[in-house]
Structure 1
């Protein structure tokens, strides 16, 4: 049985950080803990980048290097190798957001294919990843989800999105690399779910190659999971799910209020936690059909997952169960889990500094809004700084 003080071990948690990296992490989380500073900092950063002011060096040496692996995949390799020395695997995430043109969508697809082929020969990288809106326009995903009729040009555009999906999934299948497809806002997610299920039916016959994402702050995700499971059993394919709490809560609630419909978000933090744990439980009860990538920074859910695995007699290295956290966050969970022998992967965003800024701003805002997350990081970083002085 795993000790309930596992995540308090700061020596293991920060073993890869130099003293200066530890100081930088403490400084960054201290800044992120102050909401007015985050608001001012993000506004000033956007302003400076839009005016092409020379701030990329400053961003690169602070927030970028803490939360990102580099500006390109070659840049990320020292990070990947460093993590592997602690038995932590890597998911390289090309985190360029907000693109709108067909050429940009094709370029993102080619990058994902390139990374997937690269991962085939790199044991430290068992996953590839992409975001649905990286392959097609947000507004088109929305029209399809809302079942609005498409113009003939949009029909062709949708055909190209399906082709991009199929090309990437085919390469992942050929390379035997698991492909994680990220979650989106609820008003475009149905179209993404349907297309993902089509890919699962085609490429997950023997094992789960294609993984969808369940954002468990949505109260309907357990029923969706159960329906998807029934469909997969009928049609004879495996499921893979990345299970997370979710990334768009304020936006979801605001839109529901503005448009006068019931919010898709759980009524409370506890309801979200209960939903997340119920989804996790269901998958762990059905591992013969469904594989799990548990994307969580929540200590209680991580302990619960370990307890369930222990009660079921599951191996820590069972390849159907992975724990995942974001690079630069929750090292006390990632590295201590890995040291215990569990499968652990870090999501490592990369890309040109300016293009990755929307991702970084979201990270800062999320850390500010998640109660307890930043204060826990600060407490552990401070404890490790004190431990090293002894």
Structure 2
């Protein structure tokens, strides 16, 4: 009898949360649609591109992969060859636009013109979603974001480094950014990829990696902590996760950083073992003096994880259907919110249904609105900022900063994340928001 009552209570709670989610999502749709009118948002222009590729999964994947590979293309011949390879096949190839684009590569003058136009288009897109690593532009973006009532977190763009010289350069970029922000009395809020702090970052060389990364990580974390700022560690690819987490735990276990409450760790819901790993994170939070943040995201390396596992004949570590990832995201949100205040939850999603679910769950648990922070991507999540603020929630904008080439790679990964089967952003067409 008692078990039936418990089961019935859980069922009724889920019904109540789901009903509230639908109400909140409807309100979000209404508010976001206002933000995406052409007169109010540059994001509208991005929609023209995104709406087109959203209708064609093959075109979407090919376009983003072309953006990702573009920085490595050195001449017009290479650019046009890749245009042909990526866009000459598929349902879209019969349209006059794509037939013209592919066909133009046969003529020398047109070939050079196409290469220039491709470079300009990709560079312009990257520039809309990232910020150049130039002090005046960084400070201007900080002021613009804070003027909207939001906070920010800067990620200096770059992937795994190939030499110790590159690793030191990457570290120095962070230290200079910290000095720049402090010099203008701006909060120091940073996101960091540990694999960029050591050229031999490898789980098979665990001790050397931990030792070398820890030295550089402390040099960055110390001034961030002392300034009252925040530092979030990105989780990157699955095979690096265990080592990244060990290094993060070691930092937090040291007396100097034991009270560092504005430390955060990214957590990827598309991983099949994400709930188990989140419980491990929460246990670590319970064992330390101060709480820390969990940035819950769906995941940005789906293609890589699937391909890498297939090549090695290993089980794919990520969910293979969007619905599975969405459900995992909600279960992970449940776990994180139910462990407030030992962990504080940051939600990194533009999916209106997912955002609404978190709000509904937060209300059901009776938590204050500042128990959860919603994070958007610079340029991609702009239409969400004002609605979230109007609803009383803290908002933080995740900003990638770097040169154009780094911005292109970042753009490809972000757009693949937000337009793939794994995680949909929102798009408005004739007054409706599609997920």
User: Is the alpha carbon distance of 1:355 and 1:49 closer, same or farther for their aligned partners in structure 2, counting shifts above 3 Å?
Assistant: farther
Distance 1:309 1:42, change over 3 A: closer
Residue 5 (1) aligns with residue 11 (2): no
1:342 aligns with 2:366: no
Alignment partner, residue 50 of structure 2: 29
Q: Which moved more, 1:6-15 or 1:51-60?
A: 51-60
Q: 1:208 to 1:372 in 2, by over 3 A?
A: closer
Query: What is the aligned partner in structure 1 of residue 167 from structure 2?
Result: 105
Matched, 1:159 2:211: yes
Q: Partner of 1:387 in structure 2? A: none
1:258 counterpart residue number: 311
How many pairs are equivalent? 368
Return the offset for 1:270: 2.8
Q: Indicate the larger mover: 196-205 or 364-373.
A: 364-373
**Aligned partner (choices 376, 384, 403) of residue 325 of structure 1:** 376
Match of 2:131 in 1: 69
* Inter-partner Cα distance in structure 2 for 1:71 and 1:196: 26
What SS does structure 1 have at the residue aligned with 2:376?
A: strand
Aligned to 2:226, the other structure's residue is in SS state helix
TM-score normalised by L of structure 1: 0.82
1:85, distance to aligned residue in structure 2 (A): 2.4
CA contact (8 A) 2:194 2:234 kept: yes
**Counterpart position of 1:46:** 70
Q: How far apart are the structure 2 equivalents of 1:20 and 1:234?
A: 45
Structure of larger gyration radius: 2
- Relative contact order, higher structure (CA 8 A, sep 6+): 1
Does 190-199 or 201-210 show the bigger shift?
Answer: 201-210
Distance in 2 (CA, whole Å) between partners of 1:268 and 1:258 is: 20
C-alpha spacing 1:125/1:322, structure 2 compared with 1 (3 Å):
farther
Match status 1:222 vs 2:275: yes
For residues 143-168 of structure 1, what are the alpha-carbon distances to aligned partners after superposition, in whole Å with 9 as ceiling and x for unaligned? 24xx6xx7xxxx3x653221011111
Contact 1:211 1:241 in 2 (8 A): yes
Find the counterpart in structure 2 of residue 96 from structure 1. 158
**Aligned residue number for residue 365 of structure 1:** 416
Give the Cα separation in 2 of the matches to 1:336 and 1:251. 34
In the TM superposition, what whole-angstrom CA distance separates every residue of 1:121-180 from its partner, at most 9, and x where no partner exists? 76875621111222123x532424xx6xx7xxxx3x653221011111212211111101
What do residues 209-255 of structure 1 show as CA deviations (whole Å, max 9, x unaligned)?
32111111112122122223334434544332111111112221222
* Contact in 2 for aligned 1:126/1:178 (Cα 8 Å): yes
CA deviation vs aligned residue, 1:342-381 (integer Å, no higher than 9, x gap): 111111112111232211222333344237836x4242xx
Partners of 2:44 and 2:344 in 1: CA distance:
38
The corresponding residue for 1:143 is: 204
- The answer to which of 276-285 and 180-189 deviates more is 276-285
Q: Deviations over 1:31-67 (max 9, x none)?
A: 5435437625753871685339766982477302321
Q: Secondary structure at the match of 1:90?
A: strand
- Paired with 2:342 and 2:32, the residues of 1 have a C-alpha distance of 37
What is the deviation of 1:295? 0.9
* Residues 267-276 or 298-307, more deviating: 267-276
Unmatched 5+ stretches in structure 1 = 385-390
Whether the aligned pair in 2 keeps the contact of 1:91 and 1:347 (CA below 8 Å) is yes
SS at match of 1:4: helix
C-alpha distance in structure 2 between counterparts of 1:79 and 1:264, whole Å: 37
Unaligned residue ranges in structure 2 (runs of 5+): 1-19, 77-114
Equivalent position SS for 2:25: coil
The answer to whether the 8 Å contact 2:157/2:407 transfers is yes
- For the Cα contact (< 8 Å) 1:120–1:176, is it kept in 2? no
Q: What is the DSSP-based 3-state SS (H/G/I as helix, E as strand, rest coil) of the residue aligned with 2:427? A: helix
